[in-house]
Copies of this chain bind each other. A is one copy, B any other.
Amino acid sequence: MSFRRISILGLGLIGGSVAMAIKSRISDCDVTGYDVDTGALQSALASAAVDRIAPSLVSACDGTQCIILCVPIGPVGELLAAIAPHLKPGVCVTDVCSTKQTIVEAAQRLLPAGAHFVGSHPMAGGERQGFSAARADLFDGAICITTPVPSSDPATVQKVEAFWRQLGMEIRQMPAEQHDHLVAQISHLPHVLASALIQSASDEALAICGPGFRDVTRIAAAAAALWRDILLDNAAEVRGSIARFRTELDRLEALLQAGRAEDLRNWLADAALRRKALGKSGG
């Protein structure tokens, strides 16, 4: 009982990839695309990632079973408010935002009773933006976190999770608060560190950097406005993660200053062990 008619609002990297993944993995699913960028719309139509483009938000909401909000956390609240009056009873609404408390609360506040929302976060992406960076296999093997609330419609939760699984992802269900706490540690903090690392290196040092440095800082090349919104939206958790990180950095620095070779080796070996348990890098 999967969705037969899906509307994707926002055809950037994630929205475009959702459309492509649907076309590559789900037969008999009609995809409508909407974006304020007519270039992205035309590219999506030309590459058959979408079956049609909606001329307006109102028409994108018309006759669809599922609306996927594929815009950043910054503008998503406005988008929710804009579609709210046009949602038909029984429609499912989900999103792909990197933080979940804000969007879940906004959906509860703004959407009409008959519209069923469940928050989603497909943990995939990249430092490139826009439809031109979209690919059908972006979600292969990735984790998708869903954040239903006690009042969420169980059938919608089930259908949305089944949909993400069809795109190749594994589902982890958790409260929005827990999501924001965990992704601060493994997504938002790494972005902060990579950016601060780049900023702390002199031009002279950057001129001789190798592949290790490029890997470690790759994520810092992502869109600044998108990340500004993510970091501000999840500021309390990000600052908590920075505090825990500083504790580890303090520990390392104390070992270094005291020349405690054995403890330093143990600390590094423990980090290496934890890293190895995560498996290989992906792209």
Contacts and interface: CB of A to CB of B under 8 A. Distances in A.
Nearest to A208: B143
Contacts of A198: 271, 274-275
Interface residues of A, number: 89
A143 B238 contact: no
A191 B261 CA distance: 16
Nearest to A194: B216
Interface string A206-244: 101111111111111111110110011001001101101
A252 B227 CA distance: 12
Contacts of A224: 265-266, 268-269, 271-272
A282 B214 contact: yes
A151 interface: no
B196 A249 contact: yes
Given A215-B219, A216-B216, A259-B232, A209 B278 contact: yes
Chain copies in the assembled complex: 2
A200 to B, nearest CB: 4
A124 B210 contact: yes
A279 B215 CA distance: 11
A119 to B, nearest CB: 15
Given A142-B210, A218-B275, A274-B206, A267 B199 contact: yes
Given A232-B261, A261-B228, A279-B214, A267 B186 contact: no
A199 B242 contact: no
Given A190-B216, A268-B228, A281 B211 contact: yes
Select the residue from A143, A191, A271 with max chain B CB neighbours within 10 A: A271
Given A182-B208, A186-B213, 18 more contacts: A142-B210, A185-B201, A193-B197, A195-B271, A196-B252, A197-B245, A199-B251, A199-B274, A200-B244, A206-B277, A211-B281, A212-B218, A214-B278, A215-B219, A215-B283, A224-B265, A231-B264, A239-B257
